[in-house]
Structure 1
């Protein structure tokens, strides 16, 4: 008689922000009652997946839980699935990082529970055909993949097999929305399984070879807690014990007793249920991670940073212990949650860990400041990478702006800005506006394109030894299409850089415009519940003015901007970092906070700080503006001790 085996799987996702309190709460509400249930029903089977942080938590705080799991494993009642230690999107990493994270979690499971995992669970079911080689190399026999990622004609409740370059691995399709926690859950569930089984028997010829098949069901945490709290799992266990056609099992036992498989080939896939996207993005447009990169600039920048630091760590040869310490930080920073969400908090945590990995490598006293040029983000155009003593920066040839700025002390990316659709936000974004366009720009309304903010700059001079970069761009301005030319020179040093602008009017008419330099400083420790705004100070003729940064300057000054500014200082008091902008000529100034929202909640905050000048240039003439940009470490204010 045909038997359908059910394999229940629970796969939580780890995050660098998981705290001991959250893990303890998860244990008390989920794992403790689940272990109690399994001991009470020895005929009921279950499959667990534990990311590395949970294994460590149980070893330190709940060793008795690991003892219970060992006993259940010895009874062949449960199976522990392996995976990558810090839940990265494995197909996006270098081979050394893929195999390293897989082996690290397998070794941890074997040491803690006494048995090496045979099956593998991938975070977000992110898949690439090259993963076959990595999984086989790391000793895995099968992998779980979302059924939505697989061809529907292959979903016959049988394991699949995929081969690539002479190696093959079994694939168990996982169904995510199979269970509905209704009042009549048990009967509905069994009827649903039997109905699906009967449907597949009619269409499939492969069932003539084997009557037994397997249905792997991935349980959500809310659903699993509901089933345990309402004691529906106990009712299901009793019902399954009486049933002759539906039983529970673990994938390893089924694989050992059944040899029938169907061949399949899957190139790329990702589980969309893990994505946390804004309402502006259609989920149907996201089928792979690379589609996600094209939709979100912030995701692409973080991914580029992960690859770059991975290259630094894997190529480091001087000190093995230092390399291992840096690699651990790198692997933590590769956590996939920061790449699948619009949350700036998770991205900044990844940037922090990646910068800490680079910092460890720099501390071997062999570090030398450098300015290099290569295609950093794989967009087909060169970027300029500044590895200075106190910071890391990436200068883009598109717009000539700084699109990444990681401070070594603070270890956060202050250029982690969301694009406004017209241009990429960063530091020293160049605009030239008409008066009417600038009126809209002051209010935060998209105003034209600013011309130079989107133009492709050409390299004029690049000196690695002198840390000097010169870029140039041509553009047409206004309705009369006046030809203008902007040359931008970077002189890069340990504490910042000097940026020189030369704007030339190459038309036959006088040029009357507004030349604006926009810098967007992202909040690296953004918490909407307790937000601490940056401190902003301006200096005019030795007089200092402190500005409330929770509102725009136009709101505070009645639609007026500040004039005759000698210097601007924006300070992150939480990160103990300040940014100083000193123009060689007095400038006008506007400022406003930029808040992005997701599901009607603020998730990202940047500070738009813009210096601008009214320029009037005769035909064939040019003007020059220079900005001295300095990054300064602030002393952390000590809280006074309370004496009793």
Structure 2
């Protein structure tokens, strides 16, 4: 029987690069500030804290007194600061030099601001791969934390206590298992129930038992219903007092103290993994459904259930092409960033939240994707790359994408799939006007068709989700092709805005994604179609580019449509919208149909306009595209793109010309 249970409370607090200021403010008031206040009043109780770099920077600007309070608590030995990679990247996705640099950034920050020489490391989303051991050791990291399910996948039985040594090529780092059961008990179960769970560990060891609770700081106040539970009903204060009153068998302690006083429980060689839910989210919807069935089948066989697991975190790059594009462009910048300024933008672009999706909005949140591209574009601007046309295989499919770089814009085309425009940087605005999003099935969409939970039934973000809006079903549409730009369609009739929004128009995928041969000369990119006879030529100036389309007439499809999808952030903001012939048509989320040869989109907030001018009269159809996606507060509708179709009789004796003019409205 163990002499004591040594119990570590560790909170990880994070806000992503680019998150909205009011979100930082709300979470600070709901969670970060009251949590620290409780511990400040109970100065004899230790706590281990990790704050991500983006949050630390925000706190330093808005609430420096909060950081001063942490520094005081560190100085008196109550708070143990846990390090990490500064801008909260998934470490395994980064080149080695960036991994080490991000870790060192955090170590220097903690030393400068808190006089905390931390040897701990918070592993973002607990994405573990064995190759991390040597690099963490090289960065002077002594310990990190992974879920106890990581250990189960590695052959450990039950809920391991203690701490373990991971080894790779003769280098070593300490691993503390995070207790998964406690993540579900705290703070949703009564303190007495949590203490009863902890007491069970007295019977599981002949030495001192070590139990780690590590979870999100936002869970203590900003998750649905938790502020009232944790602070109004004083769950946290009651729990800490109860724990303190049981110090005859329960010792609240820190990681560093355990490392000084207790020996390692042995070696641990763990497979690549993250926490259980993350590995489920990385799967396709039908795979998640089958995995859920397996979990249910083995619910009463825990010794066998442990061998059931989801996919790899890396799979998000395959699941969401938008993620891979950000990843590819981030890696491209990493290869070139050779100044402190460019590297700072690079490290900010590596913040993990916009690269994946689970119970939080993640990649579905336009402002988070925008922040990634904003930093990539800013980093590239510092490098003063020469104008010109270059080819590179960005998506590693064995076929080149073509990059057209000018003083004001950077465009990336994919000739292998119809010559589509994948990326369109407006350098002065630090905006990728093609940070659009493709609608796809998600496993949780069955709640939209079957009905979600009521607000009163929500006790945590992993419950049956709340449907935050009525009639979400009407926006539950799935795209059969990637919603980017300069996509050609063949129609027999002009689609309506409603048909475009709900994808109720014929999609000829082989035509849209036909492979094109490339001939690049000077400022021209000619893409030739040998199958359908629809060729296009791109010619670029510093702030203008033109698209010429040559095509032969189809008897059954006499209309040619050219599709554009524009990344516009807000559907109703009064400072952005569409104009024709000088007259306002509607905001970015408008549904409109008009005839003409020109269309303009103006964004007064970001200070630019885009003018489309056609050589032929066209039916111009505009529609908004929304996704139906999950966030921690429920399933909601999120505006992603403004979609434009230019539809005209298919030319067959001369080329259609579409000129695109970018204008900066103010400097």
- The equivalent residue for 1:216 is 213
Q: Normalization by structure 1: what TM-score?
A: 0.81
- The equivalent residue for 1:575 is 606
Kindly indicate whether the alpha-carbon contact (under 8 Å) linking 2:496 and 2:621 is maintained by their aligned counterparts in 1.
Answer: no
- The equivalent residue for 1:320 is none
Kindly indicate whether the alpha-carbon contact (under 8 Å) linking 2:342 and 2:379 is maintained by their aligned counterparts in 1.
Answer: yes
Matched, 1:253 2:288: no
- The equivalent residue for 2:395 is 377
CA shift digits 1:64-122 (9 cap, x unpaired) = 55555445445543311001112122221222221111101101111222231111002
> Aligned to 2:162, which of 155, 158, 176?
158
Kindly indicate whether the alpha-carbon contact (under 8 Å) linking 2:549 and 2:657 is maintained by their aligned counterparts in 1.
Answer: yes
State the number of aligned residues.
584
- The equivalent residue for 2:148 is 147
Distance 1:616 1:386 in 2: 27
- The equivalent residue for 1:330 is 346
CA shift digits 1:537-566 (9 cap, x unpaired) = 15xxxxx65423554234xxxxxx52xx33
Spell out the pairing of 1:426-505 with structure 2 (5 A cutoff): 426-435=484-493, 444-451=502-509, 454-463=512-521, 466-475=522-531, 484-504=532-552
> Aligned to 1:416, which of 430, 435, 447?
435
> Aligned to 2:644, which of 605, 609, 616?
609
Spell out the pairing of 1:539-550 with structure 2 (5 A cutoff): 546-549=584-587, 550=589
CA displacement at 1:287 relative to structure 2: 3.4
Q: Tell me the C-alpha RMSD between the 2 structures.
A: 3.4
Q: 1:430 to 1:149 in 2, by over 3 A?
A: farther
- The equivalent residue for 1:125 is 126
Matched, 1:359 2:359: no
Q: Please identify, of 114-123 and 325-334, the stretch whose mean Cα deviation from structure 2 is larger.
A: 325-334
- The equivalent residue for 2:463 is none
- The equivalent residue for 1:392 is 410
Q: 1:547 to 1:231 in 2, by over 3 A?
A: closer
Unaligned runs of 5+ in 1: 202-206, 317-322, 476-483, 539-543, 555-560, 637-644
Q: 1:275 to 1:325 in 2, by over 3 A?
A: farther
Distance 1:486 1:150 in 2: 56
> Aligned to 1:553, which of 592, 600, 617?
592
Kindly indicate whether the alpha-carbon contact (under 8 Å) linking 1:597 and 1:604 is maintained by their aligned counterparts in 2.
Answer: no
CA displacement at 1:163 relative to structure 2: 2.1
Classify the secondary structure of the residue corresponding to 1:259: coil
Classify the secondary structure of the residue corresponding to 2:656: strand
Kindly indicate whether the alpha-carbon contact (under 8 Å) linking 1:345 and 1:526 is maintained by their aligned counterparts in 2.
Answer: no
Spell out the pairing of 1:175-324 with structure 2 (5 A cutoff): 175-176=179-180, 178=182, 180=185, 185-195=190-200, 198=203, 201=204, 207=205, 210-218=207-215, 220-223=217-220, 226-227=229-230, 229-241=232-244, 242-271=246-275, 281=285, 284=288, 287-313=311-337, 316=338, 323-324=339-340
- The equivalent residue for 1:480 is none
Q: Please identify, of 151-160 and 330-339, the stretch whose mean Cα deviation from structure 2 is larger.
A: 151-160
Classify the secondary structure of the residue corresponding to 2:113: helix
CA shift digits 1:174-202 (9 cap, x unpaired) = 2355163679723211111223554xx3x
Q: Please identify, of 571-580 and 67-76, the stretch whose mean Cα deviation from structure 2 is larger.
A: 67-76
Q: Please identify, of 597-606 and 15-24, the stretch whose mean Cα deviation from structure 2 is larger.
A: 15-24
Q: Please identify, of 453-462 and 178-187, the stretch whose mean Cα deviation from structure 2 is larger.
A: 178-187
Q: Please identify, of 229-238 and 103-112, the stretch whose mean Cα deviation from structure 2 is larger.
A: 229-238
Q: 1:628 to 1:439 in 2, by over 3 A?
A: closer
Classify the secondary structure of the residue corresponding to 2:316: helix
Classify the secondary structure of the residue corresponding to 1:584: strand
Kindly indicate whether the alpha-carbon contact (under 8 Å) linking 2:16 and 2:55 is maintained by their aligned counterparts in 1.
Answer: no
CA shift digits 1:503-541 (9 cap, x unpaired) = 247xxx967522111111121x4376x465422215xxx
CA displacement at 1:31 relative to structure 2: 5.2
| Higher gyration radius (CA) | 1
Q: 1:432 to 1:168 in 2, by over 3 A?
A: same
Kindly indicate whether the alpha-carbon contact (under 8 Å) linking 2:434 and 2:485 is maintained by their aligned counterparts in 1.
Answer: yes
CA shift digits 1:135-183 (9 cap, x unpaired) = 1111001111233444254241122322223322111122355163679
Distance 2:604 2:41 in 1: 55
Classify the secondary structure of the residue corresponding to 2:264: coil
Classify the secondary structure of the residue corresponding to 2:560: strand
